[in-house]
């Protein structure tokens, strides 16, 4: 289905065409990082729609749906921003049920959601499959951290300085903008722009 052309959609089409031309066919994962409430989830949803407009099979996931339970996080100490940054996400489950089986392609099934952080409860996993050239778009805080960044083909960072304490810790360790394939400025969400880091 053809999307209504707006400045936001035009920007997303250009961005999508850029990395589609670079990576061609086959399974591809696009990851979107950014500070808390930076607009990365909506941006991921809209990017997925643009990729579907290009007649690709697209799946969506959020790192928020791979949280550890509060009880499991408590095993790592007191409830602090440092604990959340270090251990809030079950990265083992993320790799095991989503990234690794998605990469295998074919009929191998994968799961895009395992946990509901609002209810602090596991959800019934829904195993799904896709074609060999499917695309996964995943968003979330810390997805471009050093131990995860290598999992993704395309790395997008939403511009913005961290305010939340856990984000401050993450950016102090490694600013996701320094490893991103593209930096997106969403200060005006309806008119996104590309940003380029200054070379010092």
**3-state SS assignment for residue 47:** helix
Report pLDDT for 26.
85
pLDDT score at 198: 65
In a domain, residue 77? The reply is yes
Is the CB of residue 195 less than 8 Å from the CB of residue 185? yes
Question: In the numeric block, which tokens belong to residue 44?
Answer: 């991921």
pLDDT of residue 105: 83
> pLDDT tens digits, the chain, 200 residues: what are they?
789 999 999 999 999 999 999 886 789 999 999 999 999 999 999 999 999 999 999 999 999 999 999 999 999 999 999 999 999 999 999 999 999 999 998 779 999 999 999 999 999 999 999 999 899 999 999 999 999 999 999 999 999 999 999 999 999 999 999 999 999 999 999 999 999 876 54
pLDDT at 149 (0 to 100): 96
Q: What dihedral do alpha carbons 142, 98, 105, 177 form, nearest 10°?
A: 0
61 lies in which domain range? 7-195
Domain membership flag for residue 120: yes
Using N-to-C axis directions, what is the helix angle for 7-23 and 40-53, rounded to 10°?
70
Q: Whose CA is closest to 75, among 63, 93, 90?
A: 90
Domain membership flag for residue 79:
yes
Which residues lie below 8 Å from residue 84, measured CB to CB, with a gap of 6+?
A: 73, 166
Task: Indicate the number of domains in the chain.
Answer: 1
Say if 2 falls within a structural domain: no
Answer yes or no: is 24 within a domain: yes
Beta strands across the sheet bearing 28-33? 58-62, 135-139, 28-33, 154-158, 182-185, 193-195
Q: What is the CATH number of the domain that holds 48?
A: 3.40.50.300
DSSP 29-40: EEEEE-STTSSH
b/e sequence 95-112, b meaning 16+ C-beta within 10 Å: eebbbebbbeeeeeebbb
């Amino acid at each position: 289905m053809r999307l209504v052309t707006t400045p936001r959609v035009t920007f997303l089409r250009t961005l999508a065409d850029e990395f589609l031309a670079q990576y061609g066919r086959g399974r591809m994962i696009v990851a979107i990082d950014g500070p808390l409430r930076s607009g990365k989830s909506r941006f991921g949803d809209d990017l997925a729609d643009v990729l579907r407009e290009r007649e690709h099979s697209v799946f969506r996931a959020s790192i928020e749906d791979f949280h550890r339970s509060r009880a499991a996080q408590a095993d790592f100490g007191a409830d602090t921003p440092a604990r959340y940054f270090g251990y809030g996400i079950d990265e083992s489950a993320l790799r095991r049920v989503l990234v690794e089986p998605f990469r295998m392609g074919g009929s191998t099934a994968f799961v895009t959601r395992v946990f509901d952080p609002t209810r602090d409860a596991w959800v019934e996993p829904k195993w799904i499959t896709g074609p060999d050239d499917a695309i996964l778009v995943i968003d979330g805080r810390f997805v471009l951290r050093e131990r995860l960044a290598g999992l993704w083909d395309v790395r997008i960072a939403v511009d913005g300085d961290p305010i939340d304490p856990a984000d401050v810790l993450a950016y102090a360790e490694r600013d996701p903008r320094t490893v991103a394939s593209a930096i997106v400025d969403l200060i005006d969400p309806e008119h996104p722009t590309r940003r380029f880091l200054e070379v010092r």
